[in-house]
Amino acid sequence: MTVLAAIRPDDWNLPLFVHILGAMLLVGALALVAGALASRDLRLGFRSLLYGVLPGWVVMRGSAEWIADKEGLNDVDPVPSWVDIGYSVADPSLLLILIATVCTGLAASRQRGDGLRVTALVLVGILLVASVVAIWVMSTKPT
């Protein structure tokens, strides 16, 4: 199993590389947003969500589909549980990202609205925890 996990066909490498790069951008930008919102820098928080978190999610999710297609995982019946969990974490994350972006944008434009800032901060915290779960699932591939 260890050997199987470590060796893969060469043509899976590019989508895997793009997938990890997108996920790293996503998580890094989420951490930046958390720091910015915690120190009440709403402008930086909003820009990081818009130019870091959202593109990171798109790259991560798009390349997840790409590599799943290469590996034929979507054609397997039943779909492996680690793939299912990955989708179950990634897809609702987009909704949370969009809500956090709207909350931060509104709070930034009003220059007040601590409730919106705190809401966005909680959502970003949930997204960071979800990211750790996704990384665990992708690395351990539980069946």
Question: Interface with another protein includes 135 (CB under 8 A)?
Answer: yes
Q: What residue has token string 């979507």?
A: 74
Question: Interface with another protein includes 41 (CB under 8 A)?
Answer: yes
Question: Interface with another protein includes 81 (CB under 8 A)?
Answer: no
Question: Are 80 and 73 spatial neighbours (Cβ–Cβ below 8 Å)?
Answer: yes
| Stretch touching another protein by CB under 8 A, among 71-79, 82-90, 112-120, 130-138 | 130-138
> What would the DSSP string read from start to end of 12-48?
GHHHHHHHHHHHHHHHHHHHHHHHHHHTT-HHHHHHH
Amino acid at 137: V
Binding residues (CB under 8 A) for another protein: these are 2-3, 5-7, 10, 13, 16-17, 20-21, 23-25, 27-29, 31-32, 35-36, 38-39, 41, 44, 47-48, 52, 131-132, 135-136, 138-141
